[in-house]
Amino acid sequence: MEDLMMPEGEKVSMENFALLRVLGKGAYGKVFLVRKVGGKDHNTIYAMKVLRKTRVMTKPKTLEHTMAERQVLERLRGVPFLVNLYYAFQTDTKLHIVMEYVRGGELFTHLCSRGHFDLEAAQFVIAELVVAIDSLHQRKVIYRDLKLENILLDEEGHVKLTDFGLSKLFSPGELDRANSYCGTIEYMSPEVINRPEGGYSDVVDWWSLGVISFELLTGCSPFTVDGGQNSSKDIAKRILTKKVPFPKTMDADARDFIGLLLEKKLEKRLGYGGVDEIKTHKFMANIDWAAAEKRTLKPVIVPRIGHDLDTQFFSAEFTSQPPLYSPAESPLNATTLFRGYSYVSPSVIFANDNVIGEELMAEDVNALLASSSFFAKYKLDKSENGLLGKGAFSVVRRCERVADGAQFAVKIVSQRFASQAQREARILEMVQGHPNIVQLHDVHSDPLHFYLIMELLTGNELLERIRKLERFTECEAADIMRQLVSSVKYLHDKRIVHRDLKPENILFESTDSNARLRLVDFGFARLLPNPMEQQLKSVQVLRKMTPCFTLQYAAPEVLDVGDSQPEYNEQCDLWSLGVVLFTMLSGQVPFHARSRQESATEIMQRICRAEFSFEGDAWTNVSSDAKNLITGLLTVDPKKRLSMQELTAHMWLKSSAAMDTPLQTPSILPSSADETFNETLRAFLHANRDGFHLLDVAAAPLMKRRGIKRQSGDKDSTGNTKNSRITQFECLPEEQEMEMTSSTSRPSNLGMMNYREPNSGTIRETRGSDSS
């Protein structure tokens, strides 16, 4: 095995990555969702592509493209709008590429769910694609596989290009021409199909942009026919001979823009004379190109993402499979063929200085220290012990005020999420003064980060604290509950909903037995409208569109992910309080996963049916008043659920002083609560949300045009289903591929989503030529 050495003797191998889920599978390997174990980036979530060497080596072109992808990713490291490479390493049998995990999914999925985009949404996507493609061309790279499936959306709604297995990387001094017949047929330009004697240039990518633009505005592919013959040969013939079938209703400027991009004569194609031809076209007149290059254009489509491990945009066919790292044979001459494959990103190497992510590289540290108001006032603890927490959009570290040595916790948020951080700061300022809500002391900002300086809480999270107790009684649980209810009531009195009440967000000020708790993490909190606004705007003002919940602590109305938008207000926090209380008293999480294979849909159904019970030994000594309170809080109908007024007046909170009977919670929590919670959370996040899409994906015009239909397998001569089938992930001989009825059939509607094999398009080798 080849392990890549990092600074201070740290090694990178499979031991450093915990497999969480399968994101996709192809002919050459799998793509996993992984968590980093150890090192400066401990607990960071990545996507890992794992390829079997024996399969990669079956054909020279496949091997060439596999190695090229690794080289291209390294050259493009840190370029905006492109998926970033963090590690590449190998064992005797496999290759591993570790990339950033882009959770928003493919543009293909978002387009199919909507049917088509309006002009504003299409122009935004096209503008960012122009910047992304131009970034490639400036670095001497032809993409050659621009298609909807390779365009991802990040959590903000910005574009990210992925899958560079077909890209051509030119060496210094090399003529910028390519010759291979490769890509996905619907997006191939005439010169790629014809392969002229002198080869082709990067202008082929602008043709693909024209196809993308047509698809965004119409929901259809310009060179496939619904119900007609759509073999590769048929599509290629239309590309070479047919005019683009523009709808009569298409915007005139859009039609002209697309028509020029899809100009068959190379010299007349938009972009042939440089990228400025595209930027200055009247269809793109409203685009601020300086803002586009800085990723400061406001996204039109923002994916609804709830958690670090959210994979709702991935196919359940893959995410439901166990993440197994299967054994493989070792090829004979792999050492020579794959020499130089390993890689470690600079932003990981310098993670001691780079406290938040790739925005801050080592060479930027001195400049930041000199100009940042935060670093002028505080000293950041960059040691391993100084890391207090890490979330999807931020990290929390210990810091020290230079003036007096006072210790604080600082939440550091990337400026990409400055608006969210500012909202959290405003809400924290509104709730200062309550003894059970974390105290905000200071706020700072610099060009890279937003800093929330809060009191340092040295106690444990709720469940961890209970787990360490030798004795825990119902009376003590009631005391914790009273503090929680008091803090939540304080929020609601100020028209604020927390929206993420769970044990992880309940910390204690110290490890003392009489320490008070603090409610923390207001990143998902929202300010509700006042009663007058409610009367004016009715229920619409209460609709919070962003799912942000942790499964077991999510109210039924928050789980409504159908076409009707979820409605919730203060009542959702009350539901979460009920689940927290259930867990404290029993050491179990209600609605938990009964098996590892259980789908999240089943868990959600149990939540919406309020299927929980007080059976089992853990409930034997729990009072009837406590059970009555839980039942009232976990009532499905928000209108019938206990109100805050009823909760504060409940008998159990008033008269629990005499309930000194020990609970079983401390002994049960280590073996039960955490694991069931994590399994249920992962199941929910990876579930296929039926009804979530605005338009059924299978019925979308683009799906129909491209002949993408779920098939269980091919039939042999006896009528039995064969296990093997040809998918787009396989490298097919040219004559065999020509016979396929559709060149784009995929193993599922959503395919591998963000991460695909190096040859995700159909690769057809140029006969008698090894050039690429």
Give the CATH number of the domain where residue 666 resides. 1.10.510.10
Average pLDDT (354-382) is 64
Look up tokens 């496939």; give the residue. 224
Residue 739's pLDDT band, with cuts at 50, 70 and 90, is very low
Q: Is 23 annotated as a binding residue?
A: yes
Q: Is 395 annotated as a binding residue?
A: yes
Amino acid identity, position 497: V
Average pLDDT (701-711) is 44
For residue 638, being part of any structural domain is answered with yes
**Are residues 168 and 68 both part of a single domain?**
no
In whole angstroms, what is the distance from residue 148 CA to residue 703 CA? Answer: 12
**Are residues 54 and 79 both part of a single domain?**
yes
The burial of 176, by beta-carbon neighbours within 10 Å (0-12 exposed, 13-18 middle, 19 or more buried), is given as middle
In whole angstroms, what is the distance from residue 314 CA to residue 318 CA? Answer: 8
**Are residues 641 and 750 both part of a single domain?**
no
Give 8 or 280, the one with higher predicted confidence.
Answer: 280
In whole angstroms, what is the distance from residue 427 CA to residue 522 CA? Answer: 8
Whether 176 shows a pLDDT value over 90: the answer reads no
- CA angle, residues 437, 439, 444, in degrees to nearest 5: 135
What local confidence, expressed as pLDDT, does residue 654 receive?
85
What local confidence, expressed as pLDDT, does residue 720 receive?
43
Residue 656's pLDDT band, with cuts at 50, 70 and 90, is low
In whole angstroms, what is the distance from residue 438 CA to residue 381 CA? Answer: 20
Over residues 49-78, the pLDDT tens digits come to: 888 887 777 666 667 767 777 778 777 877
Q: Is 351 annotated as a binding residue?
A: no
What local confidence, expressed as pLDDT, does residue 205 receive?
92
Q: Is 396 annotated as a binding residue?
A: yes
For residue 772, being part of any structural domain is answered with no
For residue 260, being part of any structural domain is answered with yes
Q: Is 337 annotated as a binding residue?
A: no
Give the count of domains, the chain.
Answer: 4
The lowest-confidence range among 3-17, 100-114, 522-536, 643-657 is 3-17
What local confidence, expressed as pLDDT, does residue 443 receive?
93
Amino acid identity, position 547: P
The burial of 327, by beta-carbon neighbours within 10 Å (0-12 exposed, 13-18 middle, 19 or more buried), is given as exposed
Residue 27's pLDDT band, with cuts at 50, 70 and 90, is low
For residue 169, being part of any structural domain is answered with yes
Residue of 102, 240, 95 lying closest to 161 (CA atoms): 102
Phi, psi of 480 (to 5 degrees): -65, -45
What local confidence, expressed as pLDDT, does residue 582 receive?
92
Cβ–Cβ under 8 Å, residues 82 and 48: no
Q: Is 49 annotated as a binding residue?
A: yes
Local structure of 141: helix, strand or coil: strand
Whether 524 shows a pLDDT value over 60: the answer reads yes
Cβ–Cβ under 8 Å, residues 270 and 189: no
What local confidence, expressed as pLDDT, does residue 646 receive?
94
For residue 693, being part of any structural domain is answered with no
Cβ–Cβ under 8 Å, residues 88 and 296: no
Q: Is 216 annotated as a binding residue?
A: no
Average pLDDT (33-51) is 87
**Are residues 227 and 298 both part of a single domain?**
yes
**Are residues 424 and 498 both part of a single domain?**
no
Whether 712 shows a pLDDT value over 50: the answer reads no
To the nearest whole number, what is the mean pLDDT of the chain? 74
Last residue of a domain, one of 685, 706, 727: 685
Average pLDDT (643-649) is 94
Cβ–Cβ under 8 Å, residues 717 and 628: no
CATH of the domain at 368: 3.30.200.20
Query: What is the radius of gyration, based on Cα positions, of the chain?
Result: 28
CA-based end-to-end distance of the chain: 31
Q: Is 243 annotated as a binding residue?
A: no
Residue of 758, 751, 544, 684 lying closest to 112 (CA atoms): 751
Average pLDDT (455-473) is 93
Question: Packing angle between helix 252-261 and helix 204-218, nearest 10 degrees?
Answer: 150
User: What is the DSSP-derived secondary structure letter of residue 2?
Assistant: B
For residue 327, being part of any structural domain is answered with yes
Q: Is 389 annotated as a binding residue?
A: yes
The lowest-confidence range among 121-125, 200-204, 237-241 is 200-204
- What pairs with residue 35 in β-bridges? 18, 45
**Are residues 548 and 419 both part of a single domain?**
no
**Are residues 449 and 481 both part of a single domain?**
no
Last residue of a domain, one of 455, 478, 511: 455
**Are residues 295 and 323 both part of a single domain?**
no
Local structure of 674: helix, strand or coil: helix
What local confidence, expressed as pLDDT, does residue 632 receive?
93
Q: Is 159 annotated as a binding residue?
A: no
Question: Packing angle between helix 474-493 and helix 624-633, nearest 10 degrees?
Answer: 30
Q: Is 9 annotated as a binding residue?
A: no
Tokens of 702: 């683009």
In whole angstroms, what is the distance from residue 122 CA to residue 45 CA? Answer: 30
Residue 572's pLDDT band, with cuts at 50, 70 and 90, is confident
The top-scoring range by mean pLDDT among 241-250, 367-376, 699-708 is 241-250
Over residues 578-619, the pLDDT tens digits come to: 889 999 999 888 877 555 445 555 666 777 777 888 988 999
**How many other C-beta atoms are found inside a 10 Å radius of the C-beta of residue 678?**
14
**Are residues 30 and 136 both part of a single domain?**
no
| H or E stretch at 380 | strand 378-380
Tokens of 185: 């047929």
Residue of 129, 170, 171 lying closest to 150 (CA atoms): 129
The burial of 471, by beta-carbon neighbours within 10 Å (0-12 exposed, 13-18 middle, 19 or more buried), is given as exposed
Over residues 390-409, the pLDDT tens digits come to: 765 678 899 999 999 999 99
Cβ–Cβ under 8 Å, residues 37 and 13: no
The top-scoring range by mean pLDDT among 347-351, 456-460, 568-572 is 456-460
Write out the catalytic residue numbers. 145, 500
Local structure of 395: helix, strand or coil: strand
For 742-746, which contacts have Cβ atoms below 8 Å and span 24 or more sequence positions? 742/230, 742/231, 742/706, 742/707, 742/708, 743/184, 743/185, 743/186, 743/230, 743/231, 743/232, 743/235, 744/184, 744/185, 744/186, 744/706, 744/707, 744/708, 745/707, 745/708, 745/709, 745/711, 746/708
User: What is the DSSP-derived secondary structure letter of residue 722?
Assistant: P
Q: Is 562 annotated as a binding residue?
A: no
**Are residues 568 and 488 both part of a single domain?**
yes
Cβ–Cβ under 8 Å, residues 671 and 586: no
Q: Is 709 annotated as a binding residue?
A: no
Residue of 560, 565, 572, 557 lying closest to 525 (CA atoms): 572
Local structure of 469: helix, strand or coil: coil
Last residue of a domain, one of 455, 486, 506: 455
The lowest-confidence range among 469-483, 541-555, 623-637 is 541-555
Amino acid identity, position 702: L
Cβ–Cβ under 8 Å, residues 90 and 51: no
For residue 770, being part of any structural domain is answered with no
Q: Is 272 annotated as a binding residue?
A: no
Whether 640 shows a pLDDT value over 90: the answer reads no
For residue 492, being part of any structural domain is answered with yes
Domain span at residue 501? Answer: 462-685
**Are residues 372 and 435 both part of a single domain?**
yes
**Are residues 760 and 632 both part of a single domain?**
no
Q: What share of the chain has pLDDT > 70, as a percent?
A: 68
The lowest-confidence range among 134-138, 141-145, 701-705 is 701-705
Residue 448's pLDDT band, with cuts at 50, 70 and 90, is confident
Q: How are beta strands 496-497 and 394-401 bridged, if at all?
A: unpaired
Residue of 510, 500, 501 lying closest to 460 (CA atoms): 510
- CA angle, residues 772, 67, 47, in degrees to nearest 5: 125
Residue 319's pLDDT band, with cuts at 50, 70 and 90, is confident
